[in-house]
């Protein structure tokens, strides 16, 4: 017997019936985002490594520690995408989408890759649901994107949603803040974590994103970015808050929220849900007004978000999960000596009426067929015995109620529709 081959560490198989939950979540995303005018985009899993170095930032943990990067047979450096905003921006520039009506609204669903320690809810191959709005700099774009996210999460059943909101300002604001933060942090250099001492040289604002308790203690007295905002950035942020107020969206302003990627400008955010514990953030994102230009395109603004789908499904409210896993199919079985081919024939008649049907493909006893139907989670069992076959009838058993009724085979589809 050969050696059993396991899935690669940090990856996993998604199996039925759990995959039904993933399908339902993704269907909800497509429906909700579509209602706001977003269309689906699908970018390659493989990208030129330079794309992420230039966009995400060479000093970030993603580029420095987590990317799956390798040389192909011609020596070109390629990377499995660790995130998709850069890929969407690259596609925007490559295909000249600035000539399309703006803003361009797109969303994506798919696998991403980061080399990090696998743990609950975090995998080396992980899935993200995200969206990007390109070509509009106004605060209404920020506000509408947040309204869409809150609606999506609410449809999934999350309660107590709160937007954590901040602004990291424009280039002028960030440069002024960078100098002020450096001035404050330099005397505390030795008290910072090793990672933050390194960031002091490369990108001091990233220290605000640190999870190290030592860094938190140092940052307690640090200046806040709001003190360095340009008038334009402050007005933009106030307009976003006003829009959330108007639509009754709960939010808190978090001065230390900067997010972990170098391309963010102005609005940054996370959304949390009550009762999720320490890792309560479901989604994060922000504005990136310089990214398109950095990748060789025109100076056009953008804003977007990404949801870790693995984590989202792990904390999904039970009501949505159970409804997603509930089978809508009808089970069909022939009672020996009637052949199983008759069950297939009846199932095909139901499928032609757009009713999902599970046919018993082997000659089994009624007891075995009922047991399998129960395990499949179906409510209705259609049985065809000798008498039913000779009279053009079928027996329909309601497995939830324990009742049954004999009806005309020609009326079966209508009967099932009325009974649902």
- SS3 for 242-281 is HHHHHCCCCEEECCCCCCCCCCCEEEEEEEECCCCCCCCE
Per-residue pLDDT of the chain (420 residues; tens, 9 = 90+): 788 999 999 999 999 889 999 999 999 999 999 999 999 999 999 999 999 888 776 656 666 678 899 999 999 999 999 999 999 999 999 999 999 999 999 999 999 999 887 777 678 999 999 999 999 999 999 999 999 999 999 999 999 999 999 998 888 888 888 888 888 888 888 888 888 888 887 778 778 777 788 888 888 888 888 888 888 999 999 999 999 999 999 999 988 787 655 677 889 999 988 766 556 788 999 998 888 888 888 889 999 999 999 999 999 999 999 888 877 789 999 999 999 999 999 999 999 999 999 999 988 888 888 888 888 888 899 999 999 999 999 999 988 888 899 999 999 999 999 877
Contact 306, 130 (CB under 8 A): yes
What structural domains and CATH numbers belong to the chain? 18-170+230-321 (3.30.930.10), 328-419 (3.40.50.800)
Tokens 């070109």 belong to which residue? 76
Q: What is the pLDDT of residue 290?
A: 84
Provide CB contacts within 8 A for 137, sequence distance 6+: 289, 301
Q: What is the pLDDT of residue 131?
A: 97
Provide CB contacts within 8 A for 250, sequence distance 6+: 161, 162, 163
Six token digits for residue 286: 């922000």
The CA distance from 330 to 350, in Å, is 9
Helices 231-246 and 139-155 meet at what angle, rounded to 10?
Answer: 40
Give the phi and the psi of residue 407 in degrees, each rounded to 5: -135, 170
Contact 211, 281 (CB under 8 A): no
Sheet holding 162-167, edge to edge: 39-40, 104-113, 125-134, 302-308, 281-287, 265-272, 162-167, 251-253
Helices 18-35 and 139-155 meet at what angle, rounded to 10?
Answer: 150
Q: What is the pLDDT of residue 143?
A: 96
Q: What is the pLDDT of residue 377?
A: 82
Provide CB contacts within 8 A for 58, sequence distance 6+: 64, 202
Helices 318-325 and 18-35 meet at what angle, rounded to 10?
Answer: 110
Q: What is the pLDDT of residue 57?
A: 67
Q: What is the pLDDT of residue 278?
A: 56
């Amino acid at each position: 017997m050969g050696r059993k081959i396991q899935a690669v560490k940090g990856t996993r198989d998604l199996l039925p019936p759990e995959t039904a939950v993933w399908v339902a979540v993704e269907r909800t995303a497509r429906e909700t985002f579509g209602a706001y005018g977003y269309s689906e985009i699908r970018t390659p899993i493989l990208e030129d490594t330079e794309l992420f170095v230039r966009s995400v930032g060479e000093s970030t943990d993603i580029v420095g520690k987590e990317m799956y990067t390798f040389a192909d047979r011609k020596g070109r450096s390629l990377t499995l995408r660790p995130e998709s905003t850069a890929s969407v921006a690259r596609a925007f520039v490559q295909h000249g989408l600035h000539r399309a009506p703006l803003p361009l609204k797109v969303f994506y669903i798919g696998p991403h890759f980061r080399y990090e320690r696998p743990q609950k809810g975090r995998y080396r191959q992980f899935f993200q649901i995200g969206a990007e709005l390109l070509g509009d700099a106004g605060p209404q774009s920020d506000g509408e994107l947040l309204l869409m996210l809150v609606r999506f999460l609410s449809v999934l059943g999350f309660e107590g949603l709160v937007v954590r909101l901040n602004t990291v300002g424009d280039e002028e604001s960030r440069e002024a803040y960078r100098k002020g933060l450096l001035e404050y942090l330099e005397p505390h250099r030795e008290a910072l974590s090793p990672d933050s001492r390194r960031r002091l040289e490369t990108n001091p604002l990233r220290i605000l994103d640190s999870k190290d308790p030592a860094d938190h203690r140092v940052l307690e007295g640090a200046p806040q970015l709001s003190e360095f905002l340009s008038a334009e950035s402050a007005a933009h942020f106030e307009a976003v808050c006003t829009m959330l107020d108007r639509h009754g969206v709960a939010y808190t302003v978090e001065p230390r929220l900067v997010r972990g990627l170098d391309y963010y400008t102005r609005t940054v955010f996370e959304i949390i849900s009550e009762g999720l514990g320490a890792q309560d953030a479901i989604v994060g994102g922000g504005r990136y007004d310089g990214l398109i230009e950095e990748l060789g395109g025109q100076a056009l603004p953008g804003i977007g978000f990404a949801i870790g789908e693995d984590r989202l499904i792990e904390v999904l409210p039970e009501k949505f999960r159970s409804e997603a896993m509930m089978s809508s199919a009808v089970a069909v079985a022939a009672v020996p000596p009637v052949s199983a081919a008759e069950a297939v024939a009846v199932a095909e008649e139901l499928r032609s009426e757009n009713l999902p049907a599970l046919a018993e493909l082997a000659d089994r006893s009624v007891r075995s067929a009922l047991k399998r139907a129960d395990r499949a989670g179906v409510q209705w069992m259609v049985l065809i015995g000798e008498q039913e076959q000779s009279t053009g009838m079928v027996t329909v058993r309601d497995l939830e109620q324990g009742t049954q009724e004999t009806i005309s085979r020609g009326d079966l589809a209508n009967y099932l529709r009325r009974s649902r």
